[in-house]
Structure 1
Amino acid sequence: MNSPLKDLLRFFVASVLIMLAAAALNFTVDPLQIFRASRQFTAVYSPDSRLQNAGLIRSQTFDTLFMGTSLAIHFRQSDIDRILGVKSLKLSMTGSSSREQVFVLDAAMARKPRRVIWEVDDWVFHDTPDIDANTYLPADLYRGGPKGIASYLFSGEMARVSVWIAAQSIPAFKPILKSLTSETLLKFPISDVDDINTLQAGEDVGARYNAARAMAAYRYITDPARRKYLLDDTDYDMKVRVFERDAIGLIKSHPDVTFDIYLPPYSILQWLALRETSPETLTSVDEFSAYLCRRLMDFPNVRLFDFRAIKEVTHDLNNYSDVIHHSPDIDLKVLQWLAQGKYRVDRARPTEYLDQLKAQVEAYRLVSEGQDALTDDFGQGGASR
């Protein structure tokens, strides 16, 4: 055998051995906890929910699933469990579509949860590519088939994380590695499930959620140069079709699961922005919202809650970081409302809260151009208290 051929063979053998070593390391350490809950090694978690959820579904104990978008991302599982008396698993994903949410929920249904708490808004129901064309969500890993497991075991990125986890599990290395946990090098910087995508202790909540930030966001999205954001998603028929395929399809498939679906408390500024710059979008949203409320009443395993017209929350802009994202204090209020059954939609009056919201939106006016205060027809300020 000539020398070039021998070198090629050695390279091939070395490559195979490296791949097998990486697979063995990933299987042993199992950074995502796909095969087993972490016991021998220190458990760590990624803030990338689309990736991490695949492991959480397999490794955690739960009877309740909590799903939503960025409006449900900062909830703590410990708060959900304490207030609602459940054992929850938070699967919320920032910017997620209904197709993504239903795919992840459906994967979790294999664990036989009794309840799903689902934050839903009108904008999650839109056309998106097939789930296998989604480069941000590892669909095959959720399915647990050979392709997904192979991609996980032979991943160089996962092998690097596995080395890090193994090193962290050695007491002598912990002091050295602890100072690097926030660096880009470590993709799994979270040590407690309860801390995944939550605001950390010591963070200045008041600086993040206040009327000035909310008004700045309102001015930003209503600027003529950026109004296309508000013109999107006006296709009522499309949203109905996607809603039926995703939400109704999942609910029908699991009649033994209770679905507590809630519409989140956007600030009044979101609706004012639509009214002032894109009334056709506001009309479409109202029409679709009415359809959603009525349609969900057809299912005995669904309880719908509508938090959009709660003036003491939605008209106090100090509760918001922009026009829609509310503070952790409101997270707790949402859980309390769910626990108390407040603002639950009555099957006999499915659009009652929607009608209240529409009246509020029609009544509100900016005090004057450039000011941070709002007023309704009764002269009540909405931006500061």
Structure 2
Amino acid sequence: MDIDYRIYVKKYFIFIFICIICIFLSILSILYITDPLQLFHKSFFHKDKMYYSMREQAAGIINSFEFDSVILGTSMLENTSAREASQKIGGIFVNISLAGSSFYERAIVLKKVLQKNIAHVIYSLDSVYLGCMKENSSRPTKNWAFLYDGNPFNDYKFYLTKEFIKNIFSPAANLRTIDTDRPNAWFSDPFHAVRFGGLAQWVQHIENPQVNNFLLHELPALAKKSHKNQEQPEGYIREKESALRDYLDSYLIDIIAQHPKTKFYLIFPPYYRFTYANMAQNAPYNFHLHQYAVRYLVSKTHPMKNVHVYGFEDQQFLDDIANYKDTTHFHHRFNSYFLDAIASNTHILTAHNLEQYLASCKNLALEFNISQLNDEVQSLLRKQKEDALQTSKSAMELTAAYADGQSTD
């Protein structure tokens, strides 16, 4: 009797195929149930945990959390309390700020979140517009933008990676415990917090990469005027202005225009005065573009009754280095200050006060003494070196005295 092995081979491959499908469906089912980023539903297992990167985690917050208002900034707004915003402005806020993000990246998230019935959006107008920055090289949009395309089926693609598959039965391994009020707040992290309080704190922690290059190289070079005043031809400036307009229109203003019922609070974050002084004194074309962006945003949004633009660059606190951990990042109390401004309708830039505001900001930037700041830094560095030498000398003397005592015994 002849045996037709082809039947057995066919059955074998069908069995293997069914097994593979079952395994694959089991994996998908487990990923759906555990759902570490909460893309498909609110978490059953880790309600106080989130993924470390808000570029991806924001999709889960948008899909599964109950809210009607958002804070969508960069590290400038990460310290803003959603609870405090809700109390002072109204609504139910969540903070989904993306560290180091461009307007282009945030547009991906903003378009998605505005599909919900959103009452308020607090948004930071960071200076990335100067270079019309699109992608953050460390988190390319191709790796996460699909989470916001409205297709829930391709969201699984993010989970079908080595990072999540290897921890399929312990999904919390890819998460961290957070405060849902401000998930990516950094103000309490000692790495950042120790540098608030004054220039001496910066110098004391000079090994920190966020201030090291500035204190040891950038600031001394600027004080010596080794950076020449960089003028640019008129054609170059006009080209940059055109690119800036397109950037702001495409990734912010056009989106706002489509949502007249949502209130937008656009905040120019107040960097340490040196930042503006360096532009005004050493790269005036950049300072021109910065002021051009302020003027353009105010003029474009002026007819929109649901939009307010806020500027703090004329305030005195920008001159106090104690309020900053580096040349841009301010103390978290100013995040509360922004909310107070929104609640009380202060610091709003309008067609009526804009030119006076810009003139004041320019004068303050030009009056800032970069050389004097460097002198203070050099004095503190010399004192630090002298203190270190004295400490070393004292230690050597104690060691020698101890050695003499031992030899006498």
Structure 1 counterpart of 2:185, from 198, 204, 208? 198
Aligned counterparts of 1:164 and 1:324: Cα–Cα separation in 2: 38
Which is higher, the Rg of structure 1 or of structure 2? 2
Number of the residue aligned with 1:178 = none
Structure 2 counterpart of 1:274, from 272, 276, 279? 279
Number of the residue aligned with 1:180 = none
1:140 to 2:146 alignment: yes
CA separation of 1:339 and 1:7: change in aligned 2, threshold 3 A = same
| Contact preservation (8 Å) 2:323, 2:330 | yes
1:260 counterpart SS class: strand
Instruction: Structure 2: give runs of 5+ residues left out of the alignment.
Output: 203-209, 378-409
Mapping of residues 92-171 of structure 1, within 5 Å: 92-124=97-129, 126-128=132-134, 134-135=140-141, 138-145=144-151, 148-152=154-158, 154-165=160-171
Report how far residue 22 of structure 1 moved.
1.6
Aligned counterparts of 1:188 and 1:291: Cα–Cα separation in 2: 41
TM-score between the two structures when normalised by the length of structure 1? 0.79
Q: Which string of whole-angstrom CA distances, capped at 9 and with x for unpartnered residues, describes residues 255-301 of structure 1? A: 11111111111110101222343222222222232222222213111
- Higher deviation after alignment, 10-19 or 75-84: 10-19
Percent identity, aligned pairs only, is 20
2:76 counterpart SS class: helix
TM-score between the two structures when normalised by the length of structure 2? 0.74
Number of the residue aligned with 2:45 = 41
1:239 to 2:226 alignment: no
1:110 counterpart SS class: coil
**Equivalent pairs, count:** 349
CA separation of 1:192 and 1:164: change in aligned 2, threshold 3 A = farther
- Counterpart of 2:196, as a letter, is Y
Aligned counterparts of 1:224 and 1:83: Cα–Cα separation in 2: 44
Mapping of residues 1-385 of structure 1, within 5 Å: 15-38=20-43, 40-43=44-47, 44-124=49-129, 126-128=132-134, 134-135=140-141, 138-145=144-151, 148-152=154-158, 154-165=160-171, 186-199=173-186, 203=190, 206-212=193-199, 213=202, 218-219=214-215, 220-222=217-219, 235-311=240-316, 313-366=317-370, 368=372, 370-372=374-376
CA separation of 1:217 and 1:77: change in aligned 2, threshold 3 A = farther
Report how far residue 360 of structure 1 moved.
0.6
CA separation of 1:202 and 1:109: change in aligned 2, threshold 3 A = closer
| Contact preservation (8 Å) 1:46, 1:187 | yes
1:93 counterpart SS class: coil
1:351 counterpart SS class: helix
| Contact preservation (8 Å) 2:198, 2:321 | yes
| Contact preservation (8 Å) 1:68, 1:93 | yes
CA separation of 1:284 and 1:135: change in aligned 2, threshold 3 A = closer
- Higher deviation after alignment, 313-322 or 233-242: 233-242
2:51 counterpart SS class: coil
Aligned counterparts of 2:127 and 2:91: Cα–Cα separation in 1: 27
Aligned counterparts of 1:202 and 1:218: Cα–Cα separation in 2: 21
Report how far residue 249 of structure 1 moved.
0.6
| Contact preservation (8 Å) 1:46, 1:196 | no
- Higher deviation after alignment, 254-263 or 278-287: 278-287
CA separation of 1:47 and 1:81: change in aligned 2, threshold 3 A = farther
